[in-house]
Amino acid sequence: MLNEKVEKALNDQINEELFSYYIYLSMGAYFNAESLDGFASWMELQAQEEQEHAMRIFRYVNDRGGRVKLQEIEKPKMEWNSPLDAFENAFDHEQYITGKIHELVDLAEQENDKATLQMLDWFIEEQVEEEATTEAIVDKLDMVGTSGSGLLALDRELGSRQVTDEEE
């Protein structure tokens, strides 16, 4: 059984993950409007992954006898100055989410909740990957600069992203 503090914190994290879903959908819409279909496709897959993160926590709360309490989801930003700006925002957001996961770990340790700690191990590993992936794209966008051909090549590369078993 979850204690009240851990249950509330996990409900808050469900909201953070659903907001992440919204952010990436919004970024996908931005890239669609900019005719960067590969970037848009990458963001749509990222949004799906964030939704699954929310559902992972949702199921965990239910499995532990807790009560999921969905909250209002904040409206996401809808415009960026450039693809680089969007991915810098994505990287910043992933760092923010990593911080939130670390806060959950700290709380679970404080509350001696070993089951929640074990569940959160997956999220810790996932956030290392999330940050590395978005940072690598920021680095590539930095290299490309305003080169149209470079941007189109990166668009093609990002459009080739496939859903892996780990993302499902």
How do residues 118-167 score in pLDDT, each as one tens digit? Answer: 999 999 999 999 999 999 999 999 999 888 999 999 999 999 988 765 44
Whole-number Å distance between alpha carbons of 3 and 10: 11
More confident residue, 56 or 168: 56
> Taking the model in full, what pTM does it have?
0.93
Whole-number Å distance between alpha carbons of 43 and 60: 26
Task: Decide which of 1.10.357.10, 3.40.1160.10, 1.20.1260.10, 2.60.290.11 is the CATH code for 4-159.
Answer: 1.20.1260.10
Classify residue 124 by burial, with Cβ atoms within 10 Å: 0-12, 13-18, 19+: middle
Contact 71, 58 (CB under 8 A): no
Res 1: pLDDT: 86
- Report the candidate in 91, 96, 100, 77 with the shortest Cα–Cα distance to residue 13: 100
Whole-number Å distance between alpha carbons of 129 and 2: 28
How do residues 25-84 score in pLDDT, each as one tens digit? Answer: 999 999 999 999 999 999 999 999 999 999 999 999 999 999 999 999 999 999 999 999
